[in-house]
Structure 1
Amino acid sequence: MVDGGGLALAANERARLLFPPGPLPEWLGAAHAAGAATAAGLVGQRSFEGHAAPHGNGCVTWWLVEDTELRQAREALRIERTRAEFLSEASTALLGSLNLERCMEVAARLAAEHLADAALVISPAQRSRHPVTRCARGERPVHAQLEFEPDELPGLGEALQGFPPVPSRWIDPAAAPDWLVPPDFGELGAIVVTPLPGHGVPAGALVLLRRAEQPVFSEDEEIFARLFASRSGAAMSAARVFAQQASITETLMRDLLPPPLEHVAGVEFAGGYRPSQDSEHVGGDFYDVHPGSDGESLAVLGDVCGKGLEAALLTGKIRNTLHALLPMAGDHHRVLSLLNGALLSSHSTRFVTLVLASASRDGAGVRLRLTAAGHLPPLVVRANGQVEEAETAGTLVGVLPEITTTTAELTLGPGETCLLYTDGITEARGGPLGGELFGEERLRRALTECGGMPAEAVVERVQMLATQWIGRNSHDDMAVLAITAPRGQHLTAVGGHGRGRYTA
């Protein structure tokens, strides 16, 4: 009981044990002087709520109720909510990029801002050097390749191998190696080392640093650091797997993409390719040109049954097989028969249609031997614009035990072109109503305008018309290969030496 002047008049036994003789605690005295109905504050490490019961004579009885556990529970709930929000935001930021260095940068920055005064994200060694991203609070992350012995820092070697972390109290900050502490950091007060778990293999280690003037890491903070590390490690592991897969894909893709084409032994070659899906780079259509030691080059254009990556894989096998059969390129039927046997023995359910074209200079012109195997016959564009169909035919490759073929022989005069193409061109649907086939007749009419044109221009003309025809409609893989007898000196878009166009 307190009078109007703030003097304690009486107290029960519990209150006397709680408050020593003398003035009221500051928080209670301020509430009493202000005439407040409630008050709240600490007595030592204990928390209390005060509720006023006024008397008519100006005295007030303050009933005090301890709420230490309630306040601790509320504070713990607030901290957990804050941490949950942080982990959610951290996960979003970490998964926002599949670049490993970027993931390390985000992890180091977030750890420095929310968990410590500085942080290091350390990846497993590559050629005896560890990729390290270091960040101090308020600064930009710095990447480095460092060569050091992990056991210089207690627990780091184990963390890099994925073993559980050692408690922070077991690590002496004074013994920390020089490479660990950022420049101008000041005296080091506490260190936490925890692994970065990955998908099957460790993703690295996270090291947290605090200055000497800051409180050391509590056990609860170390546990939370491990939760953050698990999310960082998962993101880094995903980025590392993506980088590995991208590298493998790029390596394989180099052998699946259409090759560059140019003049070979006085014969002009040009090619163009567009996969069925613009998001993909490879498919079932392909072409190749193989120079021969005797001056005769072998050009190949094919169409594997199907589309996408599965068709592209068989395409790669066929191209490799044909490359191995180049010593027999003079005998088209034998080459196709051996390829047919190879496909049948592989038990593949897919087949392929092909055109083989052997080209060599014959005076001012080009001599051609053409063999189609289940494929559309090549079209020959004469200098005057007349379009002829090569008289060659044959059976599919990879279906029957034996194949039949008919080889056509002809000569291209200067400025004349032989066009090899896949059915993706003629079967392209589009036009004014969106469902009409481009068709062979429309292709022939387009080629009548290409007499005397260089190979590169013929390919560009055919691809442009087919692309305009289909518009935004879906389509099959499309490939064209032009073989031209050069017409003296002429200008081309790439000076006569260019890459086969690859349209995405």
Structure 2
Amino acid sequence: MTVVAPASALLQAAFEAAGEGMLLCDTAGHTVLLANAAARRLVPGALPGEPVTGPFPEPGADSFRCEFEGRSLSGTRRDLDGEHYAWFIRDETEQARHIAHSAFLAEVGWRLSTSLHVGRVMRTVVELAVQYLADTAMVVLPPHRHRSSWTRLLPERAVEEGTLPERLLDGVPGLVESLGGFPPIPSRWLDPAQAPGWLLPAELGPVGAMLVTPLPGNAEPAGALILARHGATAVFGEEDEALARVFAARAGMAIAAATLYHEQSETADILKADLLPPDLPVIDGFELAGSHHLHIGGDFYDVFGPAGDSTDTVIALGDVCGTGPEAAVLTGKVRQTLGALRLVRAEPEAMLRVLNDVLLRSGPRSRFVTMVVGSVRRVEHGRVRLELATGGHPSPLVLRTDGTVEEVPIQGALIGVMPLTDIRPATVELGPGELCLLYSDGLTEARGGPAGRGHFGEDRLHRALADCAGMPATAVVERLSQVVSDWLHGGQSDDIAMLAVRAPARTALSLRGGGVPEQSPFLIAARRGDRRSRARS
């Protein structure tokens, strides 16, 4: 069979039809013999008769990968015979750009996800934009109270932040539309000559290209991104603008998430501040002290000082079923109702009945409250009288001067469950130095001890309170808090709230010629020793 060699024209046509660049070179002079159209486009100097130069390595190397005249090229050498070899050249610009864009967007994703602080997110946005997209970047947020916050990064400078009046936004074409978010608009090319002085300082030199692109948020605009490239010949290509839009979409969602988190945190802080127990007023005639270890919506206490022509002080300590937002709402409703009832000088029993009616009328009865309400007044001879009523709450304890602990005999059903039919209030009088303690069941139900599972219990509370005889009200609640903390051994506990009312102690016995102070440590120690001796016998 005879093989017919193809004509040189046919070889040339096949050479030109190849999809990748091809150079046919001679081994002796390393000159180009043939170059197809793809090779001439990728390496303009690769012409027949010219030496093999440009991106090609020194003779002997069989591959290369490099940047050449704005393109990413790779090449492979193949020996054909002893006198000829060929270079096969591939344009990898698009692939390299795709890899670079993917790496950029991956970095955008993880860096923007590391913070929910609006300012930090804005700083990250401009840093990423200057690193990959532009020489200068600026983020402008939608106006709030007629001012817009902005963050900017200029070449060789630190990140700058500030605010500007809403009226100045009109100076940047397309900025107001981007911040408005409706109708949606694409990135807007800007004439750098139109840029106002506040946008880019004049000392930066000529700006060749600018664009503004919206930062889309969650159903509303999150802001706008302004990019600038310096130098009279600088431009933004279509691919640059497309990448900027993808980046802006991710940056906008990050800013929107941080803004939402900030708004929710601010709201939560406001609600939390309103739910925390109040600063206790200074009331003439008796001492007040409180302690709380609370979650939002858990236990609470409140004190309402004398109002109008009433000289009584109203105290309340309660426990809302559950925790979280629903319990917090109920806590706020209870405290507001008590405050309103205080203004009309309702008695403790009436307060509980009205509060129960309010909760029963407010909807589903999935939440309830236990609480103690009392009115406090100073009476003759330095004594203090308390009118107390309860709604399903642990009874208050009274600490006498000799260390005896008494439980106040009050009864009542849960608040917010059913109509109240039987409330049995009680009146307690405190002599000088005596104290009444209101507390939540988190105190007695605290789990700890040697095995870590035992309840603190009422007996331990009574003994711990008895050892506080003669102490000021503040010292008593601090001492009980410490005793319970020691019992917990650092473990978790339910909400714990305490509120103590103490009659002022006499400074001295009314004895002719003086006497020993009634609250003398010697008398206190003697009384405790006498009680312990009687207990052992």
Instruction: Provide TM-score, normalisation by structure 2.
Output: 0.81
**Equivalent of residue 297 in structure 2, options 256, 279, 283:** 283
**Equivalent of residue 81 in structure 1, options 88, 99, 121:** 99
Query: For 2:198, what is the secondary structure of its paired residue?
Result: helix
The residue number in structure 2 matching 1:360 is: 377
The residue number in structure 2 matching 1:429 is: 447
Query: For 1:98, what is the secondary structure of its paired residue?
Result: coil
| Higher RCO structure, 1 or 2 (CA under 8 Å, sep 6+) | 1
The residue number in structure 1 matching 2:306 is: 292
1:23 to 2:50 alignment: yes
Q: Measure, in 2, the Cα distance between the counterparts of 1:39 and 1:484.
A: 90
Q: Measure, in 2, the Cα distance between the counterparts of 1:245 and 1:45.
A: 49
Deviation string 1:453-477 (CA, Å, 9 cap, x unpaired) is 1111111111111222123444322
1:256 to 2:275 alignment: yes
Q: What pairs with 1:485-504 in structure 2 (closer than 5 Å)?
A: 485-487=503-505
**Equivalent of residue 84 in structure 2, options 61, 73, 86:** 61
The 8 Å contact of residues 275 and 328 in structure 2, kept in 1 or not, is answered as: yes
The 8 Å contact of residues 72 and 93 in structure 2, kept in 1 or not, is answered as: no
Tell me: CA distance 1:49–1:397, structure 2 relative to 1, closer, same or farther (3 Å): closer
1:227 to 2:250 alignment: no
Q: Which has the larger radius of gyration?
A: 2
CA RMSD after TM alignment: 2.9
The residue number in structure 2 matching 1:399 is: 417
Residue identity opposite 1:150 in structure 2: L
**Equivalent of residue 500 in structure 2, options 457, 474, 482:** 482
Tell me: CA distance 1:458–1:23, structure 2 relative to 1, closer, same or farther (3 Å): same
The residue number in structure 2 matching 1:370 is: 388
The 8 Å contact of residues 312 and 376 in structure 2, kept in 1 or not, is answered as: yes
The residue number in structure 2 matching 1:237 is: 256
Residue identity opposite 1:242 in structure 2: Y
Query: For 2:311, what is the secondary structure of its paired residue?
Result: coil
The residue number in structure 1 matching 2:198 is: 179
Tell me: CA distance 1:63–1:40, structure 2 relative to 1, closer, same or farther (3 Å): farther
Deviation string 1:343-369 (CA, Å, 9 cap, x unpaired) is 111133222222122111123121111
Cα deviation for residue 190 of structure 1 reads 0.4
Tell me: CA distance 1:27–1:91, structure 2 relative to 1, closer, same or farther (3 Å): closer
The residue number in structure 1 matching 2:349 is: 333
The residue number in structure 2 matching 1:215 is: 234
Equivalent residues, number: 470
The residue number in structure 1 matching 2:459 is: 441
Deviation string 1:104-162 (CA, Å, 9 cap, x unpaired) is 11111111121111111111112222211110233211001122443322222222123
Residue identity opposite 1:323 in structure 2: G
The residue number in structure 1 matching 2:339 is: 323
Tell me: CA distance 1:12–1:175, structure 2 relative to 1, closer, same or farther (3 Å): closer
The 8 Å contact of residues 109 and 137 in structure 1, kept in 2 or not, is answered as: no
The alignment-based identity, stated in percent, is: 40
The 8 Å contact of residues 292 and 496 in structure 2, kept in 1 or not, is answered as: yes
Q: Measure, in 2, the Cα distance between the counterparts of 1:352 and 1:43.
A: 78
Query: For 1:406, what is the secondary structure of its paired residue?
Result: coil
| Unmatched segments (≥5 aa) in structure 1 | 276-280, 492-504
Q: Measure, in 2, the Cα distance between the counterparts of 1:469 and 1:28.
A: 78
Greater shift in the superposed pair: 353-362 or 416-425: 353-362
The 8 Å contact of residues 134 and 182 in structure 1, kept in 2 or not, is answered as: no
Q: Measure, in 1, the Cα distance between the counterparts of 2:101 and 2:490.
A: 48
Q: Measure, in 2, the Cα distance between the counterparts of 1:156 and 1:113.
A: 23
Cα deviation for residue 194 of structure 1 reads 0.6
Instruction: Provide TM-score, normalisation by structure 1.
Output: 0.86
The 8 Å contact of residues 210 and 216 in structure 1, kept in 2 or not, is answered as: yes
The residue number in structure 2 matching 1:4 is: 28
**Equivalent of residue 342 in structure 1, options 358, 380, 391:** 358
The residue number in structure 2 matching 1:197 is: 216
The residue number in structure 1 matching 2:512 is: none
Q: What pairs with 1:59-208 in structure 2 (closer than 5 Å)?
A: 60-65=83-88, 67=89, 70-71=90-91, 74-147=92-165, 148-162=167-181, 163-168=184-189, 171-182=190-201, 184-208=203-227
Query: For 2:116, what is the secondary structure of its paired residue?
Result: coil
The 8 Å contact of residues 40 and 49 in structure 1, kept in 2 or not, is answered as: no
Residue identity opposite 1:295 in structure 2: T
Tell me: CA distance 1:197–1:23, structure 2 relative to 1, closer, same or farther (3 Å): same
**Equivalent of residue 328 in structure 2, options 290, 301, 312:** 312
The residue number in structure 2 matching 1:419 is: 437
Cα deviation for residue 409 of structure 1 reads 1.6
The residue number in structure 1 matching 2:266 is: 247
Greater shift in the superposed pair: 302-311 or 203-212: 302-311
The residue number in structure 2 matching 1:390 is: 408
Q: Measure, in 1, the Cα distance between the counterparts of 2:343 and 2:55.
A: 102
Q: Measure, in 2, the Cα distance between the counterparts of 1:118 and 1:324.
A: 58
